[in-house]
């Protein structure tokens, strides 16, 4: 309800205004039952009033018993109103004080920005010096005042009784005490003490005090007398020097702050790295450690071929992946061992990840990766590097024996010895399928009468790099063209048949006979001559073709010389070599028993050259491999009979094996008969 006198709002049940005490006659609201019961409750309110002028005894008014109910009518509304007004005044006074403190802080802040250089007001006896600071001048005044005051105390040495109530002390005691809170206190000196009422006491201040309106605690230094003094040149110089020092100090502080900042960053980074590593280890993504994972490389052999063994040490059950080999391995018992043949890196026919090389050595680099768990990432280890030797495919030149030779034939047999199973290309033709068991392979090439004829040879053996060679066959240029047929025979394995034997044979026997034939072309009108036993020479003067049948009598190579002549021109000569070796059926039927004829062969070796012998014996040792030459014993344990044999058969000999051989006598080798073997068979 609103008070009609002061306008204050009051509770509906109040009979009087709580502010001014005016009766509220129009309040007709009926009190509720719970309000009546509340006012009937006993209350413990005790009002204590103190007399404003008597502080000795408090006066207690209207002591209410705890059991008496609270009665709003007995409450002094005037005192309550006065207390409310007092609280308002205190709040306003507090706001005023806060504003005053803010204003004072603003003045102090402004004075700091507008500070000026001042010096103490000079006194009588001060020695002016442009180099004395304020503290030196003030300290000189203090010492002078103390000296005068001490002198007066020593003369009188009488204590003033008026100081007794104030707690003063003697001059001796004053000199012995130490002023802890003096403006110029020094631990090495003991300044005199004095009281403020002593007129003769040394005055450290000249009477300057702050304005009466200023409030707040100020230091003694701020109370010092000071007046504005103009700067002199020396002070300007000192200010300049101090400015330089401040700049250097700022630079030093800047670098010091930067160093501290970088140090803090390094510490934070190290902590982050440590935390990340711990997290990685907890997640199973452990990084490798050099002490846990390392690799060893050792040289070894695999099936007699050079190889290298990679031994990788690491944590148990870790998976190692070799990128170049495209294979993975699991570490067991702390390590894995991988043996890799050297040819895997350079032999493209044996390995899918080999790289062709043309040098004697090859640098191999293997990049290993390691994974410590199935869910973790894999990390790259240090590359594995080592050097391997790359063998060269072997080529043994048999015919010709040198890389350059002079020939007089149009068809020349180039014969070489290689490793069986090699890929051989001679003059652009692949002859790999013609390689014999001994490794010999040959091809007939055409040699033109133009000077140098270059024949290319390429051999690629297994587990070796390719070897290339060029053979130059020189054939003198001819004035009379003379060439043999491209299909001319170079080897004859049948029994020669003479004209007499051919004429005496029936038609059926003639059909089974094999007769060698050599043919070619020459300049029409030229004359042909054959310097070799032959029959049935025929020449076509129109086209210059000719043919004849050679008669072979010597086993091995037979040189057939063909000469063409024409008037006014230089003769053209061709020397064609035919290897004559009857087949085994014919050859073996001509053989003598070498064991029975051993002594006779040694005694009459010059007469027995070319004679075919058969011997059975054991190969004791191999002397050479290209061509293969060995020592064979055809005797018994009690009586040895050794022979030196050269292998021209299709079988490769092995030490300790027993063979039956067929060959013709060639000569002696260190008192042993020497034979050229044409056919070889294993003996039972």
Selected residue with higher pLDDT from 341 and 218: 341
* Residue 677 belongs to some domain of the structure: yes
- If we measure between CA atoms, which residue out of 482, 488, 478 comes closest to residue 544? 482
Q: Which residues form the domain of 202?
A: 118-221
Confidence of residue 474 (pLDDT cuts 50, 70, 90): very high
| pLDDT at res. 48 | 55
Least confident of 64-73, 100-109, 666-675: 64-73
Q: At residue 180, does pLDDT exceed 50?
A: no
CATH of the domain at 633: 2.40.50.140
| pLDDT at res. 671 | 87
Report which secondary-structure segment, H or E, holds 109. Answer: helix 77-113
How large is the average pLDDT for residues 405-420? 86
Asked if residue 622 and residue 554 are part of one domain, the reply reads no
Residues 6 or more apart from 633 whose CB is under 8 A from it? Answer: 617, 618, 620, 640, 641, 642
Asked if residue 130 and residue 103 are part of one domain, the reply reads no
Residues 6 or more apart from 669 whose CB is under 8 A from it? Answer: 644
Q: At residue 206, does pLDDT exceed 70?
A: no
| pLDDT at res. 535 | 87
Asked if residue 437 and residue 402 are part of one domain, the reply reads yes
What span, in angstroms and rounded, lies between the C-alpha atoms of 45 and 676?
148
Asked if residue 570 and residue 602 are part of one domain, the reply reads no
| pLDDT at res. 450 | 87
| pLDDT at res. 122 | 59
Rg, C-alpha atoms of the chain = 67
CA dihedral 90, 92, 98, 102 (to 10 degrees): -160
Selected residue with higher pLDDT from 233 and 317: 317
Whether residue 139 contacts residue 184, with contact meaning beta carbons closer than 8 Å, is answered with: yes
Asked if residue 498 and residue 418 are part of one domain, the reply reads no
Write b or e for each residue in 262-287: b if 16 or more Cβ atoms lie within 10 A of its Cβ, otherwise e. Answer: eeeeeeeeeeeeeeeeeeeeeeebbe
Domain boundary, last residue among 221, 242, 277: 221
Asked if residue 462 and residue 368 are part of one domain, the reply reads no
| pLDDT at res. 174 | 45
Mean pLDDT of the chain: 77
* Residue 259 belongs to some domain of the structure: no
What span, in angstroms and rounded, lies between the C-alpha atoms of 652 and 645?
12
| pLDDT at res. 68 | 58
| pLDDT at res. 181 | 38
Q: At residue 602, does pLDDT exceed 60?
A: yes
* Residue 137 belongs to some domain of the structure: yes
Q: At residue 22, does pLDDT exceed 90?
A: no
How large is the average pLDDT for residues 142-170? 59
The residue written with tokens 């690629």 in the block is 460
Domain boundary, last residue among 408, 443, 477: 477
How large is the average pLDDT for residues 531-557? 88
* Residue 255 belongs to some domain of the structure: no
Report which secondary-structure segment, H or E, holds 135. Answer: helix 134-156
CATH of the domain at 542: 2.60.40
What span, in angstroms and rounded, lies between the C-alpha atoms of 124 and 141?
10
For the chain, what percent of residues have pLDDT higher than 90?
Answer: 21
How large is the average pLDDT for residues 370-387? 84
Least confident of 139-143, 328-332, 542-546, 587-591: 139-143
CA distances (Å), origin 636, targets 431, 654, 661: 43, 19, 17
Confidence of residue 585 (pLDDT cuts 50, 70, 90): confident
| pLDDT at res. 54 | 52
Asked if residue 322 and residue 337 are part of one domain, the reply reads yes
Write b or e for each residue in 73-105: b if 16 or more Cβ atoms lie within 10 A of its Cβ, otherwise e. Answer: eebebeeebeeeeeeeeeeeeeeeeeeeeeeee
| pLDDT at res. 164 | 40
Question: pLDDT per residue over 495-517, tens digit each?
Answer: 777 778 878 888 888 777 788 89
CATH of the domain at 330: 2.20.130
Helices and strands per DSSP (H, E), number in the chain: 11, 35
Whether residue 144 contacts residue 125, with contact meaning beta carbons closer than 8 Å, is answered with: yes
Write b or e for each residue in 419-440: b if 16 or more Cβ atoms lie within 10 A of its Cβ, otherwise e. Answer: beebbbbbbeeebeeebeebbb
Confidence of residue 171 (pLDDT cuts 50, 70, 90): very low
For the chain, what percent of residues have pLDDT higher than 70?
Answer: 71
Confidence of residue 645 (pLDDT cuts 50, 70, 90): very high
Asked if residue 575 and residue 490 are part of one domain, the reply reads yes
| pLDDT at res. 172 | 44
In the chain, the number of structural domains is 8
Q: At residue 42, does pLDDT exceed 70?
A: no
* Residue 286 belongs to some domain of the structure: no
Instruction: Work out whether the CA dihedral 90, 92, 98, 104 comes out positive or negative.
Output: negative
Confidence of residue 614 (pLDDT cuts 50, 70, 90): very high
Report which secondary-structure segment, H or E, holds 266. Answer: helix 233-283
| pLDDT at res. 308 | 92
Whether residue 171 contacts residue 202, with contact meaning beta carbons closer than 8 Å, is answered with: no
- If we measure between CA atoms, which residue out of 653, 636, 635, 637 comes closest to residue 645? 653
Q: At residue 125, does pLDDT exceed 80?
A: no
Q: Which two tokens stand for residue 205?
A: 């201040």
Confidence of residue 469 (pLDDT cuts 50, 70, 90): very high
* Residue 240 belongs to some domain of the structure: no
Asked if residue 196 and residue 173 are part of one domain, the reply reads yes
- If we measure between CA atoms, which residue out of 30, 58, 60 comes closest to residue 46? 60
Asked if residue 384 and residue 301 are part of one domain, the reply reads yes
Whether residue 564 contacts residue 571, with contact meaning beta carbons closer than 8 Å, is answered with: yes
* Residue 271 belongs to some domain of the structure: no
Asked if residue 620 and residue 597 are part of one domain, the reply reads yes
Question: pLDDT per residue over 79-97, tens digit each?
Answer: 888 888 899 999 999 999 9
Domain boundary, last residue among 580, 599, 626: 580
Specify the 3-state DSSP secondary structure of 159. Answer: coil
Residues 6 or more apart from 619 whose CB is under 8 A from it? Answer: 630, 631, 632, 653, 654, 655, 656, 657, 658, 659
CATH of the domain at 459: 2.60.40.10
How large is the average pLDDT for residues 242-266? 78
Question: pLDDT per residue over 269-297, tens digit each?
Answer: 888 777 776 665 554 444 444 446 788 89
What span, in angstroms and rounded, lies between the C-alpha atoms of 657 and 661?
12
Residues β-bridged to residue 581 = none
CB-count burial class (<10 Å; 0-12, 13-18, 19+) for 304: exposed
What span, in angstroms and rounded, lies between the C-alpha atoms of 495 and 475?
32
* Residue 237 belongs to some domain of the structure: no
Specify the 3-state DSSP secondary structure of 669. Answer: strand
Asked if residue 181 and residue 125 are part of one domain, the reply reads yes
How large is the average pLDDT for residues 212-231? 42
Residue 598 sits at φ, ψ, to 5 deg, of -60, -50
Whether residue 576 contacts residue 444, with contact meaning beta carbons closer than 8 Å, is answered with: no
Residues 6 or more apart from 109 whose CB is under 8 A from it? Answer: none
How large is the average pLDDT for residues 203-231? 43
Q: Which two tokens stand for residue 504?
A: 């005496």
Specify the 3-state DSSP secondary structure of 513. Answer: coil
Residue 603 sits at φ, ψ, to 5 deg, of -70, -30
Confidence of residue 352 (pLDDT cuts 50, 70, 90): confident
| pLDDT at res. 215 | 43
């Amino acid at each position: 309800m609103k008070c009609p006198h002061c306008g204050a709002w009051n509770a509906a049940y109040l009979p009087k205004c709580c502010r001014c005490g005016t009766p509220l006659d129009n309040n007709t609201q009926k009190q509720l039952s719970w309000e009546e019961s509340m006012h009937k409750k006993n209350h413990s309110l005790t009002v204590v009033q103190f007399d404003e002028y008597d502080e000795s005894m408090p006066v207690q008014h209207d002591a209410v018993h705890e059991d008496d109910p609270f009665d709003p009518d007995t409450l002094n509304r005037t005192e309550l109103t006065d207390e409310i007004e007092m609280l308002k005044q205190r709040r306003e006074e507090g706001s005023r004080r806060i504003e005053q403190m803010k204003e004072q802080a603003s003045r102090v802040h402004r004075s700091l920005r507008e500070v000026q250089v001042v010096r103490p007001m000079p006194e009588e006896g001060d020695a002016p010096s442009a180099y004395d600071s304020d503290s030196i001048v003030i300290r000189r005044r203090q010492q002078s005042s103390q000296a005068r005051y001490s002198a007066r105390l020593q003369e009188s040495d009488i204590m003033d009784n008026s100081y007794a109530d104030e707690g003063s002390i003697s001059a001796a005691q004053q000199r012995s005490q130490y002023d802890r809170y003096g403006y110029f206190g020094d631990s090495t000196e003991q300044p005199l003490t004095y009281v403020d009422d002593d007129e003769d006491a040394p005055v450290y201040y000249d009477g300057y005090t702050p304005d009466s309106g200023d409030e707040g605690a100020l230091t003694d230094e701020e109370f010092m007398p000071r007046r504005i003094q103009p700067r002199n040149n020396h002070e300007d110089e000192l200010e300049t020097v101090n400015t330089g020092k401040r700049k250097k100090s700022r630079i030093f502080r800047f670098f010091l702050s930067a160093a501290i900042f970088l140090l803090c960053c390094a510490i934070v980074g190290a902590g982050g790295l440590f935390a990340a590593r711990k997290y990685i280890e907890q997640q199973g993504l452990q990084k490798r450690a050099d002490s846990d994972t390392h690799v060893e490389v050792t040289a070894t052999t695999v099936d007699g071929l050079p190889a290298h063994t990679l031994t990788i040490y690491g944590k148990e059950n870790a998976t190692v992946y070799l990128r170049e080999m495209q294979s993975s391995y699991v570490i067991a018992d702390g390590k894995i061992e991988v043996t890799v043949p050297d040819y895997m890196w350079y032999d493209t026919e044996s390995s899918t990840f080999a790289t062709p090389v043309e040098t004697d050595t090859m640098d191999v680099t293997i990049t290993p990766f390691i994974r410590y768990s199935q869910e973790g990432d894999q990390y790259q280890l240090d590359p594995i590097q080592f050097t391997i030797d790359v063998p060269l495919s072997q080529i043994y030149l048999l015919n010709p024996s040198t890389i350059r030779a002079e020939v007089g034939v149009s068809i020349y047999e180039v014969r070489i010895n290689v490793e069986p199973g090699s890929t051989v290309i001679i003059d652009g033709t692949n002859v790999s399928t013609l390689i014999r068991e001994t490794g010999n392979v040959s091809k007939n090439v055409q040699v033109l009468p133009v000077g140098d004829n270059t024949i290319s040879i390429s051999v690629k053996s297994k587990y070796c790099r390719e070897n290339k060679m060029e053979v130059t066959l020189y054939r003198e240029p001819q004035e009379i063209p003379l060439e043999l047929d491209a299909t001319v025979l170079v080897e004859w394995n049948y029994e020669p048949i003479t004209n007499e034997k051919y004429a005496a044979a029936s038609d059926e026997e003639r059909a089974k006979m094999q007769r060698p034939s050599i043919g070619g072309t020459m300049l029409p009108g030229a004359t042909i001559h054959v310097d070799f036993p032959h029959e049935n020479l025929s020449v076509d003067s129109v086209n210059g073709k000719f043919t004849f049948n050679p008669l072979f009598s010597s086993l091995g190579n037979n040189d057939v010389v063909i000469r063409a002549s024409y008037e006014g021109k230089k003769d053209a000569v061709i020397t064609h070599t035919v290897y004559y070796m009857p087949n085994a059926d014919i050859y073996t039927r001509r053989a003598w028993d070498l064991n029975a004829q051993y002594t006779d062969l040694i005694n009459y070796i010059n007469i027995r050259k070319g004679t075919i012998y058969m011997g059975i014996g054991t190969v004791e040792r191999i002397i050479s491999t290209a061509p293969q030459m060995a020592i064979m014993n055809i005797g018994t344990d009690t009586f040895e009979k050794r022979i030196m044999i050269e292998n021209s058969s299709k079988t490769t000999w092995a030490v300790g094996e027993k063979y039956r051989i067929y060959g013709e006598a060639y000569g002696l080798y260190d008192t042993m008969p020497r034979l050229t073997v044409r056919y070889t068979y294993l003996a039972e």
